[in-house]
Every structure is written in C-alpha cells, then in structure tokens.
Structure 1
Amino acid sequence: MGSLQLKSIRKAFGTHEVLKGIDLDVTDGEFVIFVGPSGCGKSTLLRVIAGLEDATQGSIRIDGQEVATVPPAKRGIAMVFQSYALYPHLTVKDNMGLGLKQAGAPAQEIETRVSKASKMLSLDPYLARRPAELSGGQRQRVAIGRAIVREPKLFLFDEPLSNLDAALRVQTRLEIARLHRELKATMIYVTHDQVEAMTLADKIVVLSAGAIEQVGSPMELYNHPANVFVAGFIGSPQMNFIDAGKLGESGAKTVGIRPEHIALSRESGDWKGKVVHVEHLGADTIVYMETEATGLLTVRLFGEHQYATDDVVFATPDRNSMHRFDANDRAIR
C-alpha cells in the first residue's frame, strides 16, 4: 500500500536545475533514506514527492497511480518536518487529531487513532499539555504522532532530528526504527547525518548535485562504493584516498582505505610516518599521521591507545579492504 516510482524527475528554479533526472523505485514497507551534502537536492526531491513543489518534468507514481498533478492532500502522504510545526494554542491531543478533524473524520475515529498513536509514542501523560510545556523531543514525537494518525501510504521525514541534542537524537532514532517495524509502513527520510542513514535505512540513496550517485543497503554502500564520492561520504572518519602512483598500483588512479582498516605499530609496517594529532574518544582512538607514501593518513583504532604527537609509527593497511578507483573516479571491481 505504499510503493513509489520516480521516473526522470527534473526540477528547475529558473535556469538552475536542482534535480537532474531522478529514477527511483521504493517498494511497499521500505525505509529509504536520502543523503548527500547541503544543496544536493535531497529536500527538494522530498518536497516534489509530497507535492509541495511541482516537478518540472517526470512521473511520480504512488501505488501505481500517477500523482504529479494531484494536490498534496490527495496523495496519501504525511510529512514530518525539521521544525515541529505544532499549533501553540492546541493541546497535544488536538494537534495530533487536527488533520483528521479538518478532513471531516468522525469524532470516535479521531479518538481511536489518536489514542493508538499516543500509546505507540508514550505520549499519554502529555495529551492535555500544549507545545510550550513540552521538551524538543516530546514535540517531535507529537509531530510524528500527527503523521501516524493519518495512516498514510507514505511517511516523509525532512531532517526530523536535526533540532534535537545528541542524546535525544539517539532516543528518537530508536523510536522511529521501532515505529517502522510496528507500522510496516513505507518511510522516506532526508538527512545529512550518515549515522542516521546507516542505522535506520533499508536502502540509502546518495545524491550529489541533483543526481543519484548510488542506491543500496547501508553495508553495500560501505563495502562496495560505486565511486570516490560515495566512498568519501559513507563512513566516519572519512575514507583515506591515496595517489595510486605513489603506491605502485597499476591500472588505478586512486586507492582508498578506511581508517578502521589500518593497523598501527611502533616497530614495523608498510608506511612509516609521524603522528600529527590524536583524538581520544574512549571507545576509539583516532590517529592522524603524515607519511611520505600517503600524505595525511587517518587511522581508527578500537579502544584507548597511548599515541602522542610526534611519535614515529608504522601503518599497515588491510590489503583485502582497499578500494581502487579509475581516472573517472569510478570503482574498479
């Protein structure tokens, strides 16, 4: 009840083309996340799906029905925004049920749906409160509840966690994951935070400059990036990129190795260098070092390690985890 097909979607503002021919299939019940840097077109694409922006060209089908000319209210979607967009004078209960009330739903149906969503989101103690009496995390849960009561074909999330602090982001992320499992609903979610993408998505869509760079599961993108852009965008800290010529790698322009796939030693290894900075994070130690072969190299070590600036160390990459890219920055399989 919630499939989506996009075909040749283009969107231009005057002479500036923001979306450059997007093709995408989302199956019923999938959790799909759009990621990419600021200005890549991910929020514009979400708004085109919602009907808040008109596509300049292309087809949008929800459950097989063409909706490119259908108004937002008739598309069977519900959207959760970065800003909570709650009515300050209404209670939590009334905010959640307002859309149904405006659509003319019977009072008992509104009561039933609001009660169900409230229980899912643990909002029962707050139903009589107004938004000003709630924390940021509680307000976002009300906004999500307002979407749930509509029982849409598609849930659309536009960076819903970006206004929350770190602890609340983790908590709300877990709640959204649980809701997806319980509702078995189709969800399309925009974020610039790759941790959200890697932990929530069934399928990630990586966008750059209005075009799709790669579509795949989180681990497909991590293990088999299609190009340098995806390889550098997925994973934290970012993948190291090294001039293949410096390593004697024939047939490739660039070699990539993730920081977590490099071992460090004080005695011996492939690349000798000097530590320029260390980040002690408790669970991880991030070591930045300069080597003649690679230039600046980032190494991620599990646990606490006592390296310090100016230490002489040796780095050894896991050769089976190295990525090779051609002159067009495409992965060499």
Structure 2
Amino acid sequence: MGSLQLKSIRKAYGTHDVLKGIDLEVKDGEFVIFVGPSGCGKSTLLRSIAGLEDVTSGAVLINGTDVTVTPPAKRGISMVFQSYALYPHLTVKDNMGLGLKQAGTAKDEIDNRVEKASSMLSLAPYLARRPAELSGGQRQRVAIGRAIVREPELFLFDEPLSNLDAALRVQTRLEIARLHRSLRATMIYVTHDQVEAMTLADKIVVMNAGAIEQIGSPMELYNRPANIFVAGFIGSPQMNFIPAEKLEQSGAKIVGIRPEHITLSREQGTWAAKVIHVEHLGADTIIYLESDQTGLLTVRLFGEHKYEPDDTVYATPDTGHMHRFDENDQAIRA
C-alpha cells in the first residue's frame, strides 16, 4: 500500500523546537502508533506527514518519493481527525463520496467504492441518513469510510476515538483493527492512550518533548523499556520506581518493578508495608502500600482480594522482572 520514511524532521516556531530531528521508517502495511503525553509533538508530526504543517528542515518520503513540499491532496494520504468533520446537510453516502466527486471520479466508481467501504464498516443500512441521525460511533465510521474510498497510500488517524464513550471506544478500536487486517493498509495513528497503542499497533513510537524515546513492538516496550520515561508511560498502573540505594542495588540509580510483578502475603515477604488504599475493579485489585523500604508502592493482583486500609502486609517482587536504570535514566541491560 505505502511506505513512509522521515529523515531528520525538524519543526520550529521561532526559537522553539516542536520536533527535534525525527528519523523513522514505516514499512508497507504496518500499523504504527505515535504515543506520548500532551504537547510531545505527535500530532504535529502526523500533520507534517500529511503536509498540513510545513517542516523547518528534513524530508518526508512516501513510497520512496520525496513529498516534503508536495501539497496534501497530492500525497496519496487520507486523514481521520478527532472531530468527524461531516457535512450535516449531506447523507452518509454523499459524505463518503464527496472527495471522489470533487476529484472528478466517475459516478459508478464512486458508488462501487462507497458500497464496498460501507459494507466493511457495517454502514450499508445508514447510507441515506444524515449525520444528525447517527450515533457518535457511526459518525466516526463514516469519517473512516470517507478515508477508505480514496484508496490512499497511507491512512493517518489523529486521536479518532477521543470523542467516544468507553464502550464505543472499545468497539471502534476493534473495527479499526479488523479494517487494518482486511485492507492490509499502512496506518499511522496518534493517541495519548497507551491502551489503544498496546492493543492496535504493530510498532509503537514513544515520543517526549519533540523527540523519539523508543520504537518497538508493544511487548518490546513493556518488557524492555529503554529508559525511565518509557517504563513509566507504558503499562497501567504505572511501574514502581524505587531508589536503588534503598534496595542495596549497586551500579544503578533507580530500580523499577511493575505492579503485576509483586505478590502480597499477610505472613512474610521481602518488604513490610501498610495498606493505604484499595481499588476493587472486579478482574483486578489495585493495592497502594507504604513501606519504609520502598516508599509508595502499587501492587496489581488478579481477581478479588480482601485487603483493607491499615492492614499490615508483606510485598515480594519477582526479581526476574526488575528493571535497573542508571544516573541518566537509561536502562541497564544485563
């Protein structure tokens, strides 16, 4: 479908660098997600790929062709935004086919593409409706369908699920995953939600302050974070970070352990602690502890567990899943 290469992409507003020399390669058919906190530059990077932002320096290549100064309409991309941006006076069918109509595509071809896309997205029963007659999830599917009918080289998604409620987010996320498998298309997707990133991506690009912290598969980032920032951003609840000196760990500044890699006992264990809060989530129980040896500690236990505030417990880490970080916050590899 389409490959992408970014070479030293820099975007500055005056003296303020928003993107600080981004290098990235996306292979044909990959689903790549840019993730990071608000203001890290991920949406600016996506808009630079689309041509909606002019880059200060560097090059954007799509299928090996330099499109750095090519207008957005000629880059072979389709973009789905956070807002649906549907025309309220047009039907679903007309909204989906409008871009093709404006490009002079033959009516029969437009009809064929709209029919195919609406079938993929279960929109066929709604083609005669207008946006006001649709739910939020249906409107988002129309916006995705409008992108599909253009048969682009790249699909770009800018936080497409953020306006949906929790149930619709899950449903639409599944539809996007299924769509990627069906189209075998190259997709680049921006989100601040690490759950979306972990569940959808072939490859995740973790960004922070205009730079890339790490690129890898979801489980590579989870199991082998490159630094403290990635370790703390990927995983929910967040990884526990403990000063190495408290654990007598030589050669490291910080030791990290994920909440799910700690067990609890009322009788014995590595760290004596007091329960300060418990969250009962049904499938999981999240327990917050205070320990003289570690400070604040978060533990995630699978299933329902009967702990109460002020209970005395013992926490034991799985030492095989401990992460060690040096004075520059970089991971120390064994």
How would you bin the TM-score normalised by the shorter chain? over 0.9
Percent identical residues:
82
Q: 2:136: which partner in 1?
A: 136
Runs of 4+ in 1 over 4 A off after TM superposition: none
Which residue in 2 is equivalent to 1:3?
A: 3
In the other structure, the counterpart of 1:165 is 165
Structure 1 residue 14, shift from structure 2 partner: 1.8
Match for 1:22: what amino acid?
I
The 5-angstrom pairing of residues 1-333 of structure 1 reads 1-333=1-333
Aligned residue pair count: 333
What is the CA deviation profile of residues 72-126 of structure 1, one whole-angstrom value per residue up to 9, with x for unaligned ones? 0000000000000000000000000000000000000000000000000000110
- Residue 16 of structure 1 and its aligned partner are, at CA, apart by 1.2
**Alpha-carbon distance between aligned partners in 1 of 2:278 and 2:124, rounded to the nearest angstrom:** 47
CA distance in 2, matches of 1:318, 1:63: 46
CA offset digits 1:147-181 (Å, max 9, x no partner):
00000000000000000000000000000000000
Q: Work out the CA distance in 1 between the residues paired with 2:49 and 2:228.
A: 28
TM-score for both structures, normalised by structure 1: 1.00
Q: Counterpart amino acid of 1:46?
A: L
Where in structure 1 are there 5+ consecutive unaligned residues?
none
What SS class does the counterpart of residue 156 from structure 1 fall into? Answer: strand
Structure 1 residue identity aligned to 2:33: I
CA–CA distance in structure 1, aligned partners of residues 308 and 77 of structure 2:
53
> TM-score when scaled to structure 2?
0.99
Partner SS for 2:160: coil
Q: Displacement of 1:13 after TM fit?
A: 1.3
Name structure 2 gaps, 5 residues minimum: none
Q: 2-side partners of 1:243 and 1:16: how far apart? A: 34
Question: Distance between the aligned counterparts of 1:56 and 1:131, measured in 2?
Answer: 38
* Cα distance in 2 for residues equivalent to 1:191 and 1:294: 32
SS at 1:268's partner residue?
A: coil
Paired with 2:301 and 2:80, the residues of 1 have a C-alpha distance of 38
CA distance, structure 2, for counterparts of residue 235 and residue 155 of structure 1: 27
Provide the C-alpha distance between the structure 1 equivalents of 2:228 and 2:222, rounded to a whole number of angstroms: 12
**Matches of 2:46 and 2:235, distance apart in 1:** 24
| Letter paired with 1:322 | M
Which letter does structure 2 place at the counterpart of 1:314?
Answer: Y
* Cα distance between partner residues in 1 of 2:115 and 2:56: 41
Spell out, residue by residue over 1:229-279, the C-alpha distance to the aligned partner (whole angstroms, 9 max, x if none): 000000000000000000000000000000000000000000001000000
Output the amino acid matched with 1:99.
Answer: G
Cα RMSD between the aligned structures? 0.3
Deviation at 1:282, TM superposition (A): 0.3
Find the aligned partners of 1:211 and 1:191 in 2 and give their Cα distance.
16
Which amino acid in structure 2 is aligned with residue 175 of structure 1?
Answer: E
Structure 1 residue 5: Cα displacement: 0.2
Corresponding letter in the other structure for 1:209:
A
Letter of the 2:197 partner, please give it: A
